[in-house]
């Protein structure tokens, strides 16, 4: 089997992989920010809810989270009179991965925020700056910079986790590679999956390059 044919066939699942990656990461960031905010509140009720959520989600394997989203969300929506059984599998894939990664991102945001010296806020208030301005101009830039390495690692981990959507029947790159291997009765199995690994590696390299560029630009702008 030619190299070009193998790459072309595997890349049939590339759009699905990229949509899953971008959309689920966006969902995970939004939910993670909300959870980090709840966790840091002094009120024990929202803080306790965030702690419980983080403990449950981080203790659930991503594969199992996808299955729970696929089979559990239709039952949950049905209680509110909404039938989502015929919705696209992409919705369940994004939901499962987004929920699963939200807990890890929440911890990244929370730990980064706590790493910033809060005495800087007191100093800003002492010179006449209001709390919102102090948070936006002093705390937030440092929090983002501290959180970036963890966010990058989590995004790279999510790249690999997208391959798990085969359990709900989605045709991503991994599923396409497995299908190609089955068509050839496993004769070219090793070469097919080596090529697949190389494509995943290229995606990871692009992510690393993007974060390096963003970090340099961010430091230049905020300094």
Q: What is the C-alpha to C-alpha distance for residues 13 and 70, in angstroms, rounded to an integer?
A: 20
Average pLDDT, the chain: 91
Supply the pLDDT for residue 31.
96
Over residues 154-172, the mean pLDDT reads 95
What CATH number is attached to the domain comprising 140?
A: 1.10.3720.10
Is residue 219 domain-resident?
no
The 8 Å CB, 24+ separation contacts for 174-177 are: 174/13, 175/13, 176/9, 176/10, 176/11, 176/12, 176/13, 177/9, 177/10, 177/13
Percent of the chain scoring above 70 in pLDDT: 97
Is residue 39 domain-resident?
yes
Is residue 201 domain-resident?
no
The whole-angstrom distance between residue 169's C-alpha and the CA centroid of its chain comes to 20
- Going by C-alpha positions, the residue among 60, 30, 28, 21 that lies closest to residue 161 is 21
Total count of domains within the chain: 1
Is residue 211 domain-resident?
no
Is residue 197 domain-resident?
no
What domain range includes position 34? 15-170
Looking at 30-34, 119-123, 154-158, which range is the least confident one? 119-123
């Amino acid at each position: 089997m030619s190299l070009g044919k193998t790459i072309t066939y595997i890349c049939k699942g590339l759009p699905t992989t990229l949509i899953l990656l971008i959309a689920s990461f966006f969902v995970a960031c939004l939910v993670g920010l909300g959870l980090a905010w709840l966790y840091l509140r002094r009120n024990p009720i929202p803080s306790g809810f965030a702690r419980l959520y983080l403990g449950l989600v981080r203790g659930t394997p991503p594969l199992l989270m996808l299955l729970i989203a696929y089979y559990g969300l239709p039952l949950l929506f049905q209680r509110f009179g909404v039938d989502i059984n015929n919705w696209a599998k992409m919705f369940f894939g994004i939901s499962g991965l987004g929920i699963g990664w939200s807990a890890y991102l929440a911890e990244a945001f929370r730990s980064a925020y706590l790493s910033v010296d809060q005495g800087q806020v007191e100093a800003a208030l002492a010179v006449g700056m209001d709390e919102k301005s102090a948070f936006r101009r002093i705390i937030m830039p440092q929090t983002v910079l501290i959180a970036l390495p963890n966010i990058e690692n989590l995004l790279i981990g999510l790249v690999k986790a997208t391959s798990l959507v085969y359990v709900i029947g989605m045709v991503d790159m991994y599923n396409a590679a497995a299908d190609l291997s089955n068509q050839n009765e496993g004769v070219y199995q090793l070469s097919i999956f080596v090529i697949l690994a190389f494509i995943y590696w290229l995606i990871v390299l692009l992510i690393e390059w993007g974060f390096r560029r963003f970090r340099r630009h961010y430091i230049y702008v905020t300094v």
